[in-house]
Amino acid sequence: MSTRSQESPFSTDGRIFVHFPQWTEDAPISVAEVTRDGQIKPYPDDEWNSWRNDKKNQISAGDHFVCVQSVVTDSHGGLWVLDQAAPATASIVPGGPKLVKIDLQTNKAARVIHFDETVAPEGSYLNDVRFSPDGQYAYLTDSGAKGALLVLNLQTCMARRERPPEHEAGKGCGDRTDAQALRRPDGRGVEFAADRLALSADGRTLTGRTLYRIATNAL
């Protein structure tokens, strides 16, 4: 078994995956594979990518991508898709927050771990995810108003929220684009709490924007 922690949208055999969050308007594809000729192909299929805002009362959010924030491959042949299910960073679509594992050999969804309101409460925005090399744990950030670090046991599917001060949105945590402060349509600033996340190759330490060398066995 590999002990390398893989934290990218690239598979070990060179496949490339991308995602398109529903931030401003409906994106025609939520998760895609970039083909060798540069095309964008819905992944794992069209059905998983068929959710739209104007069909939210007709399509189940539990088995469709709603607003994907992260796609990450692991070292065990899986692509994990983190769906925080809050289009336009607004209200969470009921039943939508989830972590989906797609088997890269079969190109089929192999696991769907749903998050209830205790893990993804209203106002949360699940942002990033990393996996322990042994495949037992996942670490997620919540960059919403209820910023937190989440520890998910992949065997039991039980998750715990930790909310240290370092994960609260605050001064200097806003984003910029083209050297200008990012603003909402009404002029309000945009601040994100827990966001950047990295796991050491041996899986022993977790780091973030202002959070350094936390031992994972303490989590």
Q: What is the pLDDT of residues 89-109, one digit of tens each?
A: 889 999 999 999 999 999 999
Q: How far apart are CA 207 and CA 9, in angstroms?
A: 19
Q: What are the chain's domains?
A: 16-218 (2.120.10.30)
Confidence of residue 165 (pLDDT cuts 50, 70, 90): very low
- Could you tell me the sign of the dihedral formed by the alpha carbons of 19, 205, 140, 181, in that order? negative
Residue 170's pLDDT is 45
Instruction: Give me the count of residues in the chain.
Output: 219
CB count in 10 Å sphere of residue 142: 28
Q: Are strands 214-215 and 16-19 parallel, antiparallel or unpaired?
A: unpaired
165 or 30, greater pLDDT: 30
Residue 175 has pLDDT above 60, yes or no: no
Q: Could you report the per-residue pLDDT of 29-82, keeping only the tens digit for each? A: 999 999 999 999 999 999 999 998 887 778 899 999 999 999 999 888 899 999
Q: What is the DSSP letter of 89?
A: G
pTM of the model: 0.79
The letter for the amino acid at 94 is P
Contact 114, 145 (CB under 8 A): no
Contact 41, 167 (CB under 8 A): no
* Bridge partners of residue 181, in order along the sequence: 176
